[in-house]
C-alpha cells in the first residue's frame, strides 16, 4: 500500500469540519494524518473498554499476555491474588518494551532487558539495578523513589471470560457501556460457558481502521458483497432479523433468523441470483440451533474495535488495531466451548470456513476497505453517503440500514470533539 | 523412482495446476476422504485445531473452487509456487509422510509481486493404483499474518 498519499492540510483538529449530519462521512476521516494521534488520545485512551485478551489465556498467577490498546503496547497479567492487572508495556526508564514476547506463564515479575529495571505483576516499579551504585560510586540520587515511577495502568473488567481495559477514570461499567440489548447477546453466546481458543490469525488490511469498524456495523452490505450466502441461498436481507444499536451509539448487534422458506424474489436480476448453485458437502451449513432461538448469524460490535461473532456454529472474536493511517491489523480469534462434543468441535472447524482471511463470507471485507482507500485517493473534499434507513442511530427491525454505522460516527465525533 | 522424486513430481504438478489457474483440477490431487487445512506455525505449535481453510472432504475442496469462481469477490491475482525438495518420513497404512518447504509469490492485477506466504506442507500421501494423492495436506505458514485476504489455495 502506498503511503505517500496526499492528505488534506489540516494543521489541527479545529480545522476539521464535519459536513452536516451523520448521513455524510467526509473522506478525510479515513486519511488525515493528524487523526491517528488524536484518536489514540481521545478514543482508545478515552472512556471506552478496549478488548485485551481472554481470561483463559492467563489462568494462573504470573501468566501474562502482551497486546495493544489502539497503538499503545500493553501487558495484561494475572496477579498472585488472581486479579487481572494491565499496564503500558513501556519501561519507566528509557521507554523500551518491558515484555518482548506475545505471552508467558508463571512470571514472578517483569524485568526490562535494557537495564534490568524490575516490575511486579501489577506493573509497579520495584527495583532499579545499581540504584545505590557500585562500590559507593554512581547510582541514582538519594531522592529517587521507585514508587514515583512506573508505566501507566489500566483498569480492567471481565465479561464472560473476556478481559477489557480502560485508561480513563470515567468509563462507565461495561454493562452500562454496552447497554442491555448488546449485553444480552454476549450472554447468549458466552453466558455460563467456558471457552477456549482454537485458532488465531492476523489479516493485514490495506485501509484505515475505521473502514473496518464501519464494515462490521454495516448489515446492508452483507448479502450484497458476500455473494456466498446469496449464491447458496443462505442469507438474504428479506430474511428475518434486524439491527440493534446501543444507547451510546457505538455498539451494535446485527442478527439473521433462519429462513422459514418461501421463494425469495428480492434478489432477482442481481448478479448474485443468476444461477442456482448448491454445495456438494452440506456439512458446511449443517447448523445446530444451540441457543434454541433460530438466530443463524449474530454480529456484535463494541466501540471502538471489537467484534463478537457467531455464524452458524462458528464463533470468533475480531479485534482490529491501527498499524498506520492506511493499515489495520485484524486479529481473528476462533474459539469454541470447552465442553464441546467431538462432533460439534468438527462442525465448528467446518463452519469457520465462513470467517477469517479466507472465509467464504469474510474475505471480501479484507479487500473492500482497500478499494475505498484507492477510490478516495484524491477526494479529500468528498464524503460518503450513509443514509440507508434514514439519518438516525436507532435500532431497526431490518438489516437494510446503516444506523449502526451512523452510531459509530456519532460516538467517534462525540469523543473526538469533531 | 525414489519416493523423493515421486513426491517432488506430485508437488510440481500441484503447483502448476494452481499457478496456471486450473483450480477445477486441484481437488483431484486429494483422496475423497482427505484433510486440507491452512494454518500457521504458531497455531500448529499450540495445537490449535482451526485453520483459515479447513476441508475434510474432497467435496469441500470442490465447493471452495465453486465459491471462488462464482461467489467470492477479490482482485484478479495469481500465485507462483516455489516448492522445495520433500523430506520423506515414515510410510504407514495411511500413506507416506512428507514435509516440504514452499514459497508462494502473489502477483496482483496491478503488477505488484510480493512474497505472500512461506511455510511447509505436512503431507500424508496415499500411494495406490491411482498414483500419489494427498490424504492429508496441512499447510503450515511460517507467519500468522495474511495480507488482505487468501482466495487461491496454497
Domain boundaries, chain A: 50-158, 175-416
Residue-wise pLDDT tens digits, A63-85: 999 999 999 999 999 999 999 99
Supply the pLDDT for residue A258.
82
Place of cell 496454497: B154
Rounded CA-CA distance A151/A75 in Å is 10
And the C-alpha cell for A378? 484524491
Q: Which residues of B touch A360 (CB under 8 A)?
A: 64, 67, 71-72
pLDDT band, residue A1 (cuts 50/70/90): very low
pLDDT in tens, A5-15: 434 444 455 57
Q: Name the residue in chain B with its Cα closest to that of A356.
A: B52
Task: Quote the minimal CA–CA distance from B55 to chain A in Å.
Answer: 7
The whole-angstrom distance between residue B147's C-alpha and the CA centroid of its chain comes to 18
- How does residue A265 score in pLDDT terms, banded at 50, 70 and 90? low
Q: Which residues contact A177 (CB under 8 A, 6 or more apart)?
A: A48, A49, A171, A246, A248, A251
Domain boundaries, given as residue ranges, for chain B: 3-141
Cβ separation A349–B50 shorter than 8 A? yes
Which residues in chain A are contacts of B39 at CB distance < 8 A?
199
| A126 close to A116: Cβ distance less than 8 angstroms | no
pLDDT of A106 above 60:
yes
| Residue in A200, A279, A281 nearest the CB of B144 | A200
Query: A386: which residues sit within 8 A by CB, 6+ positions away?
Result: A22, A23, A24, A25, A402, A405, A406, A409
Work out the pLDDT band at A149, boundaries 50, 70, 90: very high
- Neighboring chain B residues of A272 at a CB cutoff of 8 Å: 71
Residue-wise pLDDT tens digits, A195-247: 999 999 999 999 999 999 999 999 899 878 988 877 876 656 567 889 999 99
Express each pLDDT in A334-377 by its tens digit.
999 999 999 999 999 999 999 999 999 999 999 999 999 999 99
φ, ψ dihedrals at A349, nearest 5°: -60, -40
ipTM: 0.97
Identify the CA nearest to A332 among candidates A349, A351, A352. Answer: A352
Q: Enumerate residues 54 to 113 of chain A having a beta carbon within 8 A of any beta carbon in chain B.
A: none
Contacts of B150 in chain A (CB under 8 A): 357-358, 363
Amino acid A140: pLDDT = 95
Task: Out of 2.102.10.10, 3.40.50.300, 3.40.50.970, 1.10.150.530, select the CATH number for domain A50-158.
Answer: 2.102.10.10
Name the fold adopted by B3-141: Nuclear Transport Factor 2; Chain: A, (3.10.450)
For the stretch A46-61, pLDDT in tens is: 999 999 999 999 999 9
Closest chain A CA to residue B153: A358
Query: For chain A, what is the mean pLDDT?
Result: 92
Give me the mean pLDDT over the A306-320 stretch. 97
Query: Alpha-carbon distance A371 to A405, whole Å?
Result: 18
> Mean pLDDT across chain B, nearest whole number?
97
DSSP per residue over B49-73, as a string?
A: ---SEEESSHHHHHHHHHHHHHT--
CB-count burial class (<10 Å; 0-12, 13-18, 19+) for A10? middle
- The better pLDDT of the pair B59, A285 is held by B59
d(C-alpha A33, C-alpha A10), whole Å:
9
* Nearest chain A residue to B141, by CA: A201
- Tell me the C-alpha distance between A403 and A304, whole Å: 16
pLDDT top residue among A256 and B8: B8
Nearest Cα residue to A199 out of A368, A365, A351: A351
* Per-residue confidence (pLDDT) for residue A231, from 0 to 100: 81
For range A301-327, the mean pLDDT:
97
Q: Which cell numbers in the block locate residue A203?
A: 489479516
Residues of A in contact with B52 (CB under 8 A): 199, 201, 332, 356-359
Is A222 in a helix, a strand, or coil?
A: helix
The fold adopted by the segment(s) A175-416 is Naphthalene 1,2-dioxygenase Alpha Subunit; Chain A, domain 1 (3.90.380)
Q: Higher pLDDT residue, B122 or A396? A: B122
- Which of A166, A169, A171, A138 lies closest to A154, judged by CA? A166
The three-point CA angle A209-A212-A217 to 5° equals 130
Confidence label for B129 from pLDDT (cuts 50, 70 and 90): very high
Nearest to B104 by CA among B3, B44, B14: B14
B74 min Cα distance to partner chain A (Å): 6
Residue A358 contacts B, CB cutoff 8 Å: yes
pLDDT at A266: 55
pLDDT > 70: percent of chain A? 91
Rg (CA), chain B: 15
| Angle, CA A251 vertex, CA A246 and CA A256 arms, to 5° | 90
A349 contacts in chain B (CB < 8 Å): 49-51, 54, 56
Q: What is the pTM of this model?
A: 0.94
pLDDT of residue B74: 95
Residues of B in contact with A280 (CB under 8 A): 59-60, 62-63, 66
Task: Please report the pLDDT score of residue A5 as a whole number.
Answer: 41
Rounded-to-integer distance, Cα A257 and Cα A259, Å: 6
| B85 Cα distance to chain centroid | 15
Residue A10: predicted pLDDT: 42
B55–A360 C-beta distance less than 8 A: no
Cell numbers for A336: 469454541
Closest CB from A228, A334, A350 relative to B67: A228
Q: What is the pLDDT of residue A241?
A: 86
Share of chain A above pLDDT 90, in %: 82
Residue A92 CA, chain-centre distance (Å), reads 28
Decide if A50-158 and A175-416 have a common fold: no
Distance set, CA B147 to CA A16, A205, A333, A370, B115 (Å): 32, 7, 17, 11, 10
Q: Can you tell me the distance from the alpha carbon of A204 to that of B148, in angstroms, rounded to the nearest whole number?
A: 5
Amino acid at each position: 500500500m502506498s503511503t505517500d498519499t496526499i492528505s488534506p492540510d489540516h494543521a489541527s483538529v479545529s480545522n476539521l469540519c464535519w459536513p452536516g449530519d451523520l448521513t455524510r462521512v467526509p473522506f478525510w476521516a479515513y486519511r488525515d494524518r493528524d487523526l491517528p494521534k488524536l484518536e489514540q488520545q481521545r478514543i482508545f485512551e478515552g472512556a471506552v473498554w478496549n478488548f485485551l485478551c481472554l481470561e483463559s489465556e492467563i489462568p494462573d498467577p504470573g501468566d501474562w499476555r502482551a497486546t495493544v490498546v489502539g497503538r499503545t503496547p500493553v501487558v495484561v497479567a494475572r496477579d498472585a491474588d488472581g486479579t487481572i492487572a494491565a499496564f503500558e508495556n513501556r519501561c519507566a526508564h528509557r521507554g523500551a518494551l518491558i515484555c518482548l514476547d506475545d505471552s508467558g506463564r508463571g512470571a514472578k515479575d517483569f524485568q526490562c532487558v535494557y537495564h534490568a529495571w524490575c516490575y511486579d505483576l501489577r506493573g509497579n516499579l520495584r527495583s532499579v539495578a545499581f540504584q545505590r551504585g557500585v562500590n559507593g560510586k554512581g547510582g541514582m540520587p538519594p531522592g529517587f523513589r521507585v514508587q514515583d515511577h512506573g508505566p501507566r495502568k489500566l483498569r480492567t473488567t471481565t465479561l464472560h471470560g473476556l478481559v477489557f481495559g480502560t485508561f480513563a477514570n470515567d468509563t462507565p461499567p461495561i454493562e452500562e457501556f454496552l447497554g442491555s440489548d448488546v449485553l444480552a447477546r454476549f450472554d447468549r453466546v458466552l453466558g455460563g460457558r467456558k471457552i477456549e481458543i482454537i485458532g488465531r490469525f492476523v489479516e493485514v488490511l490495506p485501509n484505515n481502521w475505521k473502514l473496518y469498524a464501519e464494515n462490521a456495523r454495516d448489515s446492508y452490505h452483507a448479502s450484497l458483497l458476500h455473494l456466498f450466502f446469496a449464491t447458496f441461498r443462505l442469507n438474504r436481507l428479506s430474511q428475518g432479523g434486524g439491527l440493534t444499536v446501543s444507547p451510546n451509539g457505538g455498539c451494535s448487534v446485527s442478527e439473521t433468523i433462519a429462513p422459514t422458506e418461501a421463494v425469495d424474489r428480492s434478489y432477482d436480476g442481481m448478479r448474485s441470483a443468476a444461477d442456482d448453485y448448491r454445495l456438494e458437502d452440506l456439512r458446511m451449513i449443517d447448523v445446530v440451533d444451540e441457543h434454541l432461538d433460530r438466530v443463524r448469524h449474530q454480529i456484535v460490535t463494541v466501540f471502538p474495535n471489537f467484534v463478537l461473532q457467531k455464524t452458524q456454529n462458528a464463533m470468533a472474536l475480531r479485534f482490529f488495531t491501527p498499524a498506520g493511517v492506511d493499515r489495520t491489523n485484524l486479529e481473528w480469534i476462533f474459539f469454541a466451548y470447552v465442553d464441546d462434543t467431538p462432533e460439534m468441535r468438527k462442525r465448528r472447524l467446518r463452519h469457520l470456513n465462513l470467517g477469517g482471511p479466507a472465509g467464504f463470507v469474510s474475505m471480501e471485507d479484507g479487500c473492500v476497505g482497500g478499494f475505498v482507500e484507492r477510490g478516495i485517493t484524491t477526494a479529500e473534499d468528498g464524503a460518503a453517503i450513509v443514509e440507508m434507513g434514514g439519518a438516525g442511530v436507532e435500532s431497526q427491525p431490518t438489516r437494510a440500514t446503516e444506523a449502526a454505522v451512523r452510531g459509530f460516527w456519532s460516538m467517534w465525533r462525540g469523543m473526538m470533539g469533531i | 523412482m525414489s519416493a523423493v522424486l515421486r513426491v517432488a513430481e506430485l508437488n510440481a504438478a500441484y503447483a502448476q495446476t494452481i499457478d496456471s489457474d486450473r483450480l477445477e483440477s486441484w481437488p483431484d490431487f486429494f483422496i475423497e476422504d482427505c484433510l486440507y487445512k491452512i494454518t500457521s506455525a504458531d497455531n500448529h505449535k499450540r495445537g490449535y485445531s482451526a485453520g483459515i481453510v479447513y476441508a475434510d472432504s474432497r467435496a469441500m475442496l470442490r465447493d471452495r473452487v465453486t465459491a471462488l469462481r462464482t461467489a467470492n469477490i477479490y482482485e484478479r491475482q495469481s500465485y507462483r509456487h516455489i516448492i522445495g525438495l520433500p523430506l520423506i518420513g515414515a510410510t504407514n497404512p495411511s500413506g507416506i509422510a512428507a514435509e516440504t518447504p514452499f514459497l508462494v509469490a502473489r502477483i496482483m492485477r496491478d503488477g505488484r509481486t510480493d512474497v505472500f506466504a512461506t511455510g511447509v506442507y505436512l503431507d500424508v500421501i496415499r500411494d495406490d493404483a491411482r498414483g500419489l494423492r494427498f490424504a492429508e495436506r496441512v499447510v503450515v505458514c511460517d507467519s500468522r499474518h495474511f495480507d488482505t485476504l487468501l482466495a487461491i489455495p496454497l
